[in-house]
Structure 1
Amino acid sequence: MPTTADHSPGVGRPKVSSRQLIEDAAAELFVENTYAGTTIDQITRRSGVSRATFFNYFGAKSDLLWFEVDRAIDSLREACAAASASGSLESVREVVLAVAGEFDENRVPLALTQSDVMGAGEDVANSGLLRVAAQADVYVDFFAARGARHRSDLLVRTAANALAGAVAAGWITWARAGIGRSPLTGYVAESVDVVFPGIVAAFAGVDRGNTF
């Protein structure tokens, strides 16, 4: 039976990266053996890479549950940094939707669709919170820069966490919608628009000198 490590590219086929081999091997093993029953050594053997190569790409086994989300957060961080320097407060919404639009919809995060099958419930909850916090931290930088306020400012942190929670809700609803799901952008737009008008109004109120 061929394994992920056997998926070496033939003539005329694009080379598969070590990272991709690791991701594919982990996905197979988590379903076959459960998440708890899979070790990093098993993943490296299946993918045909060394432990050193594994840790070049991933800090922990739980990172493999979220690799699609982590890529999206990296893209979000870069785009928000650019928008904070030249865009308006509203530009963060455009950035969020643009990142959602670039997401590969054929690679739905394992953590959001296969956690019960893989037996990874507790790790999904813990590592998922870390991803929401990482996303919120990106928005903290953006709102602090655009609002000319400190990162620890209550309004900055409240707005950042509200936006991160809304985006996370859109992702979760999209992932669990199943095969017939529509594009991610629509779900994220709907969830973000629940909180974003309030965020904009709150910053406008502060600009007028209102206090909370």
Structure 2
Amino acid sequence: MDEPIRRGGRPRRSSADVLADAAAELFLEQGYGRTTVDQIAARAGVSRATFFNYFTAKSDVMWLELDAAVRELPAHLAASTEPSAVRAVEEALLAAARAHDPERVPWAVAQAEVMGIGSELVAGVAVRVMAQHAAVAAFVAARTGEQPGSLWPQTVSGAMLGAAAAGFGVWVRDGVGRRPLVEYVGAALTPVTAGLDAH
């Protein structure tokens, strides 16, 4: 839950954002494995219980932005009036990319080696990608009258999420000169969407 707006100033940052920033500092200073939840909470100036109000585990603190995108994707899909299921998925992924705060680069990806995240990074991404994959496949299946596990919904979901992830990865690695995320995701999706939509 976000904290109230201060009079005459900008909204205060949510406790989740403050915890994520505290975790990033500690992971950079002493590595992921040597950092505890108690240390993160102390650095953020909140209690251990407050940490668990926002995150279920230490690893979840790395994925604040990606978790928001996972939560929003079904709503973006449901809002589409595009008759082509493939084009509707493209619209939803572009909407999610457009909504991403350009100041919030996922440090878990950008600084994984320095922070010593390793296998936790792979596992965290995998869980979230599978959640997105299931949402997209279910949407395509509903539009086409197929089962979510059928080849076409699985192909559309895998290909389009793979392209979007590729664009996202290049955006992260481009550093301070990076352009808006939606440009990378759009460029990655364009040929994939065209090929699938011609099916």
- How high is the TM-score relative to the length of structure 1? 0.83
Aligned counterparts of 1:111 and 1:77: Cα–Cα separation in 2: 24
1:136 maps to which residue?
133
Q: Any stretches of 5+ residues in structure 2 without a counterpart? A: none
Deviation of the 1:76 alpha carbon = 1.6
2:27 to 30, 36, 48: 30
Residue 118 (structure 1) aligns with: 115
2:142 matched residue in structure 1: 145
| Aligned match for 2:162, one of 144, 160, 165 | 165
Counterpart of 1:80 in structure 2 is 77
* Whole-angstrom distance in 2 between the partners of 1:197 and 1:52: 48
Shift, 1:10, TM fit: 7.0
Unaligned runs of 5+ in 1: 1-8, 203-212
Instruction: Tell me what 1:206 maps to.
Output: none
1:20, 1:181 → 2: CA distance?
22
- Give the distance between the partners of 2:130 and 2:190, measured in 1 at CA: 20
1:109 matched to which residue of 2?
A: 106
Offset of residue 201 of structure 1: 2.7
Which of 43, 53, 56 is residue 53 of structure 2 equivalent to?
Answer: 56
Q: Is the 8 A contact 1:132 1:165 kept in 2?
A: no
Q: Could you tell me the TM-score, scaled by structure 2's length? A: 0.88
Residues 91-147 of structure 1, C-alpha deviations (whole Å, 9 max, x = no match): 221121121111111110012211011011221112112222122112112101111
The answer as to whether partners of 2:76 and 2:95 remain within 8 angstroms in 1 is no
Across the aligned residues of Structure 1 and Structure 2, the Cα RMSD in angstroms comes to: 1.8
* Alignment partners' CA distance in 1, 2:131 and 2:107: 19
Q: CA deviation at 1:11?
A: 5.8
CA distance in 1, matches of 2:157, 2:21: 33
Which amino acid in structure 2 is aligned with residue 23 of structure 1?
A: A
